[in-house]
């Protein structure tokens, strides 16, 4: 599990998909590596429609409204 800022680096495999390690490109297309919180992905809702509820916020597949993501990284 990714420890996040101050812990593991984003290059660690544990941090793949972690919100603070998931950049936004904002080019009109929701890319696979972008987080569901990114402007392009908020518009493309079909990419981020499910919550896994496994204790890990996987930002490239789960929205900020998912219980695992609330309060993590850029999610309010």
- Average pLDDT of the chain? 81
Q: Taking the model in full, what pTM does it have?
A: 0.71
- Compute the average pLDDT of residues 20-39: 86
Cα gap 22→55, rounded to integer Å: 18
pLDDT grade for 8, boundaries at 50, 70 and 90:
confident
Alpha helices, DSSP H, located in 9-51:
39-43
CA angle, 44 then 45 then 46, to 5°: 95
- Compute the average pLDDT of residues 35-59: 81
Using alpha carbons, select from 56, 60, 55 the residue that is nearest to residue 22: 60
Sign of CA dihedral 32, 50, 1, 5: positive
């Amino acid at each position: 599990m990714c420890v996040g800022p101050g812990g593991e680096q984003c290059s660690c495999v544990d941090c793949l998909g972690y919100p603070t390690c998931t950049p936004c490109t904002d080019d009109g297309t929701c890319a696979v590596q972008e987080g569901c919180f990114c402007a392009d992905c908020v518009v493309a809702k079909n990419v981020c429609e499910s919550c896994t509820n496994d204790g890990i916020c996987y930002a490239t597949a789960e929205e900020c409204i998912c219980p695992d993501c609330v309060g993590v990284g850029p999610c309010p």
